[in-house]
Amino acid sequence: VTDAAPPSPSPPPGTLLATAEAPGKAILLGEHAVVYGHPALAGALGRGVRVTVRADPQGPRLHPGPLAAPVPIREGDGGALGTALARVLADVAPGLRQVALVAEGSLPLGSGLGSSAALSVACARALAQTAGAPLSPDRLYDVVRHAEEVFHGNPSGVDQATVVRGGVLLFRRASTEPGARPHVTPVTPARPLHLVVAMLRPHTGTREAVAALRERRDRHPRTVDGLMAELGALALDGARALESGCPGRLGELMDLSHGILAALGVSSDDLDHLVHLARRAGALGAKLTGAGVGGAIIALPGQAPDAAQRILDAMTTVGAVAFLARVGEPPTGSPG
Ligand code: MEV
């Protein structure tokens, strides 16, 4: 005979347990250079991922979208997605098994817009809510770092820092000292920032683009290091241009940055084409964003009322997926 309370009955399948959101991100300046310790300027996008947790006796599994089969949340046989989310689950709510995570979003995948970090952050927040154990931003950053390593190898951390904290920020990666944390400085734009985002095809992969650039650096260390330092300096200039409300200057910095990224070999024909079309349609500046070699561009519209629409029209006439996004959204979703 025991006086222990009987185990609480599992909620019926499909019961809603929690819901949370996370934004995507756009790197305004400094991608790739940030991997080598230079600053990057990045902002949270007004588009992101929402994750709903429901009771599911066949869990843990992820429903990645209406047209995709469920993915088991398990190291190994769930592919990169299942493995990454298994790490999130083990870190946040290790005892939770009978759950389905249902993801919905408005971020194109493989676009350089932080879809993997947004998914991991939204999942971590929703799981923490289900387990009744909210996460601090630092803890959330660490949880998502474990997941991002599955997708991207050894990322700088700029994606998850931006997605976790929201707003616009200058990011510099942590030193290699054990326990070192990245330097994150919030940036307050003097006026609201909207960018046209456009893409023709997914990128070939962050891990691949970073690896190819590392090889190029091995062959041309002086030139590549000099260009990387310049990209970092442009990110600092960009933060000042945003804070002092100089969109024309920010646009020029974006153009300079795209030229350097192209010289470093991380642009592609489709990205160059979209960047040129955006400039011809009146953009103050345009560049690739994120890892490059496919993926998205960002273009800064001028002040005229139809400025953004003209760029969007130019993008859609060549079949690009394009939208106007507010950049610097405050953090969304549940606490942590
Ligand atoms: C990817 O969003 C940004 C890169 O700089 C890689 C990284 O920071 O780890 C290309």
Does the pLDDT value for residue 213 go beyond 80? yes
Does the pLDDT value for residue 177 go beyond 90? no
Say how many Å lie between the CA of residue 16 and the centre of ligand 1.
35
Closest CA to 292 of 213, 229, 179, 175: 213
Cβ of 210 closer than 6 Å to ligand 1, yes or no, is yes
Say how many Å lie between the CA of residue 141 and the centre of ligand 1.
16
Per-residue confidence (pLDDT) for residue 68, from 0 to 100 = 87
**Residue located nearest, by CA, to atom 2 of ligand 1:** 290
Are the C-beta atoms of residues 333 and 20 closer than 8 Å to each other?
A: yes
- Opening angle at CA 20, ends 199 and 110, nearest 5: 20
- How is residue 208 written in tokens? 């691949």
Beta strands in the chain (DSSP E): 16-29, 40-55, 61-63, 71-72, 99-105, 168-172, 183-187, 193-199, 285-288, 296-300, 321-327
Q: How far apart are alpha carbons 54 and 76 in whole angstroms? A: 23
Are the C-beta atoms of residues 123 and 101 closer than 8 Å to each other?
A: yes
Q: What is the mean pLDDT of residues 256-266?
A: 98
**Residue located nearest, by CA, to atom 9 of ligand 1:** 155
Helices vs strands, H then E, count in the chain: 9, 11
Q: Considering the entire predicted model, what is its pTM?
A: 0.94
Say how many Å lie between the CA of residue 143 and the centre of ligand 1.
18
Which of these is catalytic: 159, 218, 237, 306?
Answer: 159
Percent with pLDDT over 90 in the chain? 85
Does the pLDDT value for residue 316 go beyond 60? yes
